[in-house]
Structure formats: C-alpha cells, structure tokens
Amino acid sequence: MSKKILEIKDLKRDFIMGSETVHALRGISFDVEAGEFVTIMGSSGSGKTTLLNILGCLDRPTIGNYFLDGVDVKLLTRDELAQLRNHKIGFVFQSYNLLPRTTALENVELPLLYNKDISAVERRERAVHALEAVKLADRFDHTPSQLSGGQQQRVAIARALVNEPVMILADEATGNLDSRTSYDIMALMQELNSHQGKTIVFVTHEPDIASFSSRTIQLRDGMIQKDYKNEHTRSAKEVLADLPNADDYAKQK
C-alpha cells in the first residue's frame, strides 16, 4: 500500500452570490496515492475548476476535509497555504503564465525564490536540472517570446518540478497547444510519472488526453460521476510516433 498524497472526504464548496447560494461541489470523496497519474474530467460547470482550486490550495472547502500529504488544509492560514503551495504543489497552467522578458532559467527559479532555505547556488543548480529534465538544456537564456508554445509549456513544467513537489497539478495544460505538441507534453508527463514517480493530477475536458492517464475521475454537477482505472493506458510516445510526420509539424517542434 503506497502513501496517500491526497485524501478528500465529503468535500463541499458553496459560493454565495448575492442572495443565492451556488453549490459548486456537493460532496466529493476520493484519494490519490503516490505515483498515480489522475485526470479529472468534466464539462464546464461540473465543478472542475472549483475542485482544482481546492486541490491547489488556492481555495478552501466549505465543508469536508482535504489532506494534502497528510496536512489538513482547512486549518491553515493564508500564509501557511502559500507555503504549502510552495513546498508541495507544482502548477502547470493552460496559458503557461511565464514572466515576460524573463529568461527560461529565471522563470524556473521563481518558486525557489520564495523558499528561504535554498541558497542562490542551489537554486541555479536545481533550475538547470529541471530544464534539462524537460529537454530544454539549450534554451536557458531564451525569453518566453523566443520560445514556441510547447517549449513555453515545458518551461512551465520545469518550473513546477523545481521545488520537488509531492504533486504536479495541471490545469488544461494542453488546452492552448495543437494535438502534436499536446501529445509531446503528455509524453513528458508520462515520463515524469513513470520514470520519476511523480504524482500528477491533470484537469482536462478532452477524453483523448484523459486516455493517457492511469485513472480518470469524471465530475458532473459537483459530484463524482465516474472514478475508474484506465485498463489500457495509451502511450503518448507511441501515438506521437504514429502521427504523420508533416513538415510544418516537424519545424514547429
């Protein structure tokens, strides 16, 4: 039995909009164990984003418990939440959210700047290492505007890896990318999951993307509709290899 990274028990989240109360999440329970690659699926309005915010410690549940790596998130202050995000979560966003006019290396270093236990030398070392892990060793000094979408997302993944989080939390991380680049990113995710044992929680609305994960949780109207293991997890690497090798794709990559 491996270690539980996420424990969610009967989680509810209400928003008060004027006189109405909107029940975004109506009671969700699931666990994620270390080394799992979970996709959370759902159409818009299903509570996906609300769940993501709570998983990312950006928001707190109204009712219910959320344990991240054994820490009860509900009891933490705003500052403690920030520290928890810094130490335990690596975010990957749909729109990359890299700092403009800042080199890839400096972008990757960013989370470590908010961790006072890490020296400047170690910071640089780890950032270099993380960029090498996403195969961008030759792009250290490139600013986001000098990188393609796929490369920018890989910088963002390196940034998510650099603080050695217990979980990578991706929010529609392939949403802005063409399918070939998406597969490329998914291949990277799969590699991180299988080779480095990273726990990944990937929020998406594309069933195609979900098929690369080992487990899928489907949300509907704030409840879990389905939670199933993928018997036949596809390998993004193989899918990528099967794609017609069009010239424009090759160039873009």
Partner 1 sequence: MSLINLIKIALKALQRNKLRALLTMLGIIIGVASVIAMVAIGQGSKQSIHDQLSNMGTNMITVQPASNLSGGVRIAGSSFQTLTSKDITALKTGAPDITEISPAVSSKGQAITGALNWPTTMTGVSIEYLDIRKVTIKDGIAFTQNDVLTSAKVCLIGQTVIDNLFPNGENPIGKVIRFGHIPFQIIGVLNPKGFNAFGQDQDDILIAPYTTVQKRILATIYYSNIYASAANENVTNAAVSEITRTLRESHRLTAAEDNDFTVRTQQELIATLSSTSGLLTVLLTVIAGISLVIGGIGIMNIMYVSVTERTREIGLRMSIGARGKDILLQFLMEAVIISITGGVIGVLLGFLSTWLVTLILKWPTVVSQSSVLLSFVVCAVTGIFFGYYPALKASRLDPIEALRYE
Dig out the tokens for 35 from the structure. 């080394």
232 sits near partner 1 (criterion: CB under 8 A): no
Least distance CB 207 / partner 1 (angstroms): 24
Least distance CB 148 / partner 1 (angstroms): 20
Figure out which of the listed residues 87, 129, 142, 205 binds partner 1, where binding follows CB under 8 A: 87
Q: Nearest CA to 205 among 47, 8, 90?
A: 47
100 sits near partner 1 (criterion: CB under 8 A): yes
166 sits near partner 1 (criterion: CB under 8 A): no
Q: Nearest CA to 187 among 228, 152, 154, 165?
A: 154
- Tell me the window of 28-36, 65-73, 91-99, 203-211 that interacts with partner 1 (CB under 8 A): 91-99
Q: Nearest CA to 64 among 240, 224, 234, 246?
A: 224
Q: Are 178 and 12 a contacting pair, CB within 8 Å?
A: no
- Tell me the window of 23-31, 101-109, 129-137, 206-214 that interacts with partner 1 (CB under 8 A): 101-109
- Name the CA dihedral angle for 156, 159, 165, 171, rounded to a multiple of 10 degrees: -20
Q: Are 90 and 169 a contacting pair, CB within 8 Å?
A: yes
The nearer residue to partner 1, 81 or 223, going by C-beta atoms, is 81
- Tell me the window of 106-114, 189-197, 204-212, 228-236 that interacts with partner 1 (CB under 8 A): 106-114
Site for partner 1 in 109-138 (CB under 8 A): 110-111, 113-116, 120
d(CA 109, CA 124): 7
For 65-116, where are the alpha helices, taking DSSP H only? Answer: 78-88, 104-113
Residues lying near partner 1 in the complex (CB under 8 A) are found at 53, 56, 58-59, 78-79, 82-83, 85-87, 91, 93, 97, 99-102, 106, 110-111, 113-116, 120, 159, 163
